[in-house]
Amino acid sequence: MADVIRRDELEAAFGREQHRLSLAGTFIGAFASLGLGILFITLGVAAGIVKLGVGASQGGGAGGGVWILVSVFVATYIGAAIGVRSSGLTYKRDGGTQGMVTWALSFFLSMVFLSFVGAAALSAAGGGPGGGVSSGPAWWFFIAACAGLLGGFLGGVSGAPLSQAEHKAEARRHPSLREREV
């Protein structure tokens, strides 16, 4: 009969957990991030900070860019923290990785959404490819994406309950505590 290797024996042999990220937590965090991002950006539109339009003069200026930058950072930070908390991870190091994966998924989903919306807006406005887009909005977009990545990492780290040293100290104090199975 084959010997069964227990999880704690694997952890002792390799020095770490085998399953350190949660797919469910990634999706929960990504959708929370997307929802909050849409909420914050529509708040900026409603308050008149961000102006939406097809023409280059409709961009909203630096104030709109800063609002979008802060909105993306805060939404990704909160979404990553929610995703890490719901995943049951135990280490802050893993929380940072989970937060960056959450950002990547939410970024991908938002780009798919924006490509459909952008294509519909361009076809409705009668524009097409080669319309000569200014590089100003592209830079704001890049900076907002970087802010979202940073927010995802920091949110993931802040959402994880313990560092590895704190977890080991807690396990020594309470040997009956077992990690949540993933």
Give the pLDDT confidence of 38-77 residue by residue, as tens digits.
899 888 888 888 876 644 445 557 788 888 889 999 999 9
Kindly tell me the burial class for residue 21, based on how many C-beta atoms sit within 10 Å of its own C-beta (0-12, 13-18, 19 or more). Answer: middle
Domain boundaries, the chain: 64-109+142-162
Q: pTM of the entire structure?
A: 0.68
Q: CA-to-CA distance for 151 and 107, rounded, in angstroms?
A: 12
pLDDT of residue 171: 61
pLDDT of residue 1: 43
pLDDT of residue 21: 82
